Amino acid sequence: MEKTQNGETVKEEELKESCGGGGGDGSICGYDSLHCLLKDNLDPHIFQEVNRLLTGLNCGKSLQPIALPESATSLSLQHGFDLQAFCFNADKEILREPRVVRVGVIQNSISLPTTVHFSDQKKAIFNKLKPIIDAAGSSGVNILCLQEAWTMPFAFCTREKRWCEFAEPVNGESTIFLQSFALKYNMVIISPILERDINHGEVIWNTAVVIGNHGNIIGKHRKNHIPRVGDFNESTYYMEGNTGHPVFETAFGKIAINICYGRHHPLNWLAFGLNGAEIVFNPSATVGELSEPMWPIEARNAAIANNYFVASINRVGTETFPNPFTSGDGKPAHADFGHFYGSSHISAPDASCTPSLSRNRDGLLITDMDLNLCRQVKDKWGFRMTSRYDLYAETLTHYVKPDFEPQVISDPLLHKKSL
Ligand SMILES: NC(=O)NCCC(=O)O
């Protein structure tokens, strides 16, 4: 039997080949994303309704795409990266002007096999990113964020210490590389790297460096929560961060970075919100088998609960390592981490969200966001006002004490034998 796929007729067997998440090419049944799959296969009026439920409405409408300059679209065609752009509006206010900021996020696969010389691997990633950053810059992006540990393969599954050689100081090679783009395009750039802290015994951290639009280093944030799940053996390499929950006040708004696994921790999201973040970036590296059903939910929920925008970024592709490793689950040793499913997207405080970038291709997602929306949603829903922080402060104060006992009221009849 034959079916339609991306507008073309294909055999049903071929379609099945690329389904099931783990399907050969990493696509979703041959489609870049769930959004593309639904759009191509549903009647337009049914798709409109499904889309309303899946991605919400912003100021009463589905998100509108933005037209980008030809310089950006031609770079995406020439280099084969997904390029999408949308606009989040806010209501017009009487006293405040709109505060529209253009935000970009980049997802990418590594560029060379993990067996080649480390400096060649790093250089190849730099070269791959150049045209994507140029597309962002020439589109007028104000704040750009790259994916977690973007300079390297996500080698932490191996537990081999040699990958520590990818670590660099905050003012190292990758920062110098990005500073020139920040200056050229008047753009704030968030650069998540494996950091080596030279002044403190050469300790390694998982860090996001915030580069200002003048090419200056504004500061850094270190990943607060380190995964101990599946093949994410990151605690072998670095410790929980010691930078708290900083919000960086930039020329384009107040931003924060919640690095990858931190997205599973609602208090982590809350703390960035309490410090006044308007946009929280979540640079990540995660694989389909582990987290894909959680991916569209957690970021969106954080945006809603904390009245800020969330930009979620995940790398793409399957990375294979020289030596097989085990997952400690009794299954055979293997040499790849599984498929990093991309699907970067942006969520707004009003529960609307963009479609995702591709599941298997590099991509640049650009959104205009009117930051006035954050306060408008606060005023409408009153989450901050009704939050009862004093109540929870008390609960947590008790909980962290060694003599804490859970507040449980048992039914006195629970253990009585029935007559
Ligand atoms: N990089 C990272 O923290 N990954 C953990 C896996 C997950 O949170 O999905």
What does the pLDDT look like over 118-152, one tens digit per residue? 999 999 999 999 999 999 999 999 999 999 999 99
> Is the beta carbon of 370 within 6 A of some atom in ligand 1?
no
The mean per-residue pLDDT over the stretch 288-314 comes to 97
Q: Are residues 119 and 255 in the same domain?
A: yes
> Is the beta carbon of 148 within 6 A of some atom in ligand 1?
yes
Atom of ligand 1 lying closest to residue 259 CA? 3
Name the nearest CA neighbour of 145 among 158, 157, 129.
129
55 C-alpha to center of ligand 1: Å? 24
Taking 60 as the threshold, does the pLDDT of residue 23 lie above it?
A: no
- What is the pLDDT at residue 17? 53
Q: Are residues 144 and 230 in the same domain?
A: yes
List for the chain the helix, strand, coil content (%; round to 5).
30, 25, 40
- What is the pLDDT at residue 7? 52
285 C-alpha to center of ligand 1: Å? 6
Is 402 part of any domain? no
Name the nearest CA neighbour of 110 among 285, 229, 262, 227.
285
Is 176 part of any domain? yes
**Looking at the whole model, is its pTM more than 0.90?**
yes
Taking 80 as the threshold, does the pLDDT of residue 43 lie above it?
A: yes
Is 228 part of any domain? yes
> Is the beta carbon of 261 within 6 A of some atom in ligand 1?
yes
> Is the beta carbon of 231 within 6 A of some atom in ligand 1?
no
> Is the beta carbon of 86 within 6 A of some atom in ligand 1?
no
Taking 60 as the threshold, does the pLDDT of residue 11 lie above it?
A: no
The mean per-residue pLDDT over the stretch 193-197 comes to 98
The mean per-residue pLDDT over the stretch 246-252 comes to 98
Q: Which of 107, 223, 226, 286 to mutate to test the pocket of ligand 1 (most atoms within 8 A of CB)?
A: 286
- What is the pLDDT at residue 24? 78
The whole domain housing 200 covers 64-381
400 C-alpha to center of ligand 1: Å? 25
Mean pLDDT rounded to a whole number for the chain: 94
Q: Are residues 47 and 81 in the same domain?
A: no
Strands in 188-197's sheet, in edge-to-edge order, are 64-65, 82-88, 363-370, 100-107, 143-145, 188-197, 203-211, 217-222
Contacts for 225 with CB less than 8 Å, ≥ 6 apart: 240, 261, 262, 264, 265, 268
Exposure string for 109-128, b = 16+ CB within 10 A, e = fewer: bbbeebeeeeeebbbebbeb
Identify the active-site residue in 122, 220, 223, 254.
223
159 C-alpha to center of ligand 1: Å? 15
> Is the beta carbon of 183 within 6 A of some atom in ligand 1?
no
Taking 80 as the threshold, does the pLDDT of residue 240 lie above it?
A: yes
Q: Are residues 35 and 133 in the same domain?
A: no
> Is the beta carbon of 287 within 6 A of some atom in ligand 1?
no
> Is the beta carbon of 319 within 6 A of some atom in ligand 1?
no
Q: Are residues 38 and 178 in the same domain?
A: no
Is 153 part of any domain? yes
Q: Are residues 41 and 185 in the same domain?
A: no
232 C-alpha to center of ligand 1: Å? 7
Contact between 192 and 259 under an 8 Å Cβ cutoff? The reply is: yes
Q: Are residues 92 and 205 in the same domain?
A: yes
Strands (E), 265-308: 279-284
Q: What is the pLDDT of residues 80-123, one digit of tens each?
A: 999 999 999 999 999 999 999 999 999 999 999 999 999 999 99
- What is the pLDDT at residue 417? 78
Q: Which of 291, 297, 315 to mutate to test the pocket of ligand 1 (most atoms within 8 A of CB)?
A: 291
Q: Are residues 131 and 277 in the same domain?
A: yes
Q: Are residues 185 and 265 in the same domain?
A: yes
CATH number at residue 321: 3.60.110.10
**Residue 22 confidence class, pLDDT cut points 50, 70, 90:** very low
The mean per-residue pLDDT over the stretch 362-366 comes to 98
| Terminal CA-CA length for the chain | 64
Q: Is 260 a catalytic residue?
A: yes
> Is the beta carbon of 290 within 6 A of some atom in ligand 1?
yes
Taking 50 as the threshold, does the pLDDT of residue 339 lie above it?
A: yes
ipTM over the 0.95 cut-off = yes
Of the two residues 139 and 22, the one the predictor is more confident about is 139
Last residue of a domain, one of 46, 62, 78: 62
- What is the pLDDT at residue 13? 55
Q: Are residues 116 and 263 in the same domain?
A: yes
Q: Is 240 a catalytic residue?
A: no
- What is the pLDDT at residue 1? 43
Q: Is 122 a catalytic residue?
A: no
Identify the active-site residue in 122, 148, 195, 319.
148
Tally of domains in the chain:
2
Atom of ligand 1 lying closest to residue 284 CA? 1
115 C-alpha to center of ligand 1: Å? 24
140 C-alpha to center of ligand 1: Å? 31
Q: Are residues 80 and 55 in the same domain?
A: no
